[in-house]
Amino acid sequence: MDGLAPESEGSAPGRGRLEGRRVLVVGGGQQTHGLEDPPIGNGRAMSVLFAREGAAVAVADIDRASAEETAALCEAAVALAGDASDEASMERMLAAAAESLGGLDGIVLNVGIGAGLGVQGTSVEDWDRVLAVNLRAHFLGCKHGLPLLAEGGAIVLVGSLAGTQYIPVPAYGASKAALESLTRSAAVEGAPAVRVNLLVPGLIDTSLGRRATELTPDRGQVRIPLRRQGTAWEVAYGALYLLSAESAYVTGSALVVDGGLSQAPRR
């Protein structure tokens, strides 16, 4: 992408926006999805950006090697492995992050998968697995994360614009739509000590996004007012805002990062 701002390209210098904060990124690794030169993913971009902005970062992923690769890109980051959809595993990751970092001020829940095509083409097994990863993991992160966070802490759930529109993968859309309700519940329960918000990316140029476009070519033909897909860095800056004191009066809200896609005419 030509002519992007340094923030959009991930080359802007840190400004100390998370100085002294301790942040766990669940889903901070990255999958290539078969691409030889994959763009950076949302979780990895978040981890690197948070560290650049002064945070102590713990990177958790189901793929330990991938978590370690991300941690190596961050100064003094901690790498953890676990299955976010499993309660015991989520509790272990949260406890390990808090112990390693000396407490927690922020948690980002950046996990999601898709499976099944159409309602009739989605098996019960597909449905259950997608909701376990995309919804139960976020519930577990809130349930066990809220008590661990220091006062003034923040949780960011990562949803998708797919939760507000038709997509041919119903389990994915349904799971992402449900995150809005979970965000509201966790925000009310966490207040006033902890804020909880939902980050809603649109079409982002990641490995998973490119793979999704291969499977459903119409995805790449939608009208985006800003005339391009977003970058993972732009999603990361949205998460940065929601974790920082700049959003101290924002909770229970959804921040949409979609280049205007949700406002564009469909024809």
Enumerate the active-site residues: 172
* The pair of three-digit structure tokens given for residue 31, joined into one six-digit string: 């999958």
Is residue 155 within a helix (H) or strand (E), and if so which, with residue range? strand 149-158
* Selection from 38, 43, 88 nearest residue 233 by Cα: 43
Do 262 and 161 contact (CB within 8 A), yes or no? yes
Q: Please, which residues have CB within 8 angstroms of residue 26's CB and are 6 or more apart in sequence? A: 60, 61, 84, 90, 93, 107, 108, 109, 110, 111, 137, 141
DSSP symbol at 117: S
Residues facing residue 163 across a β-bridge: none
Asked if 236 and 180 touch (Cβ cutoff 8 Å), the reply is no
Helix (H, G, I), strand (E, B) or coil at 152: strand
Which sign does the torsion angle of CA 150, 139, 233, 59 carry?
Answer: positive
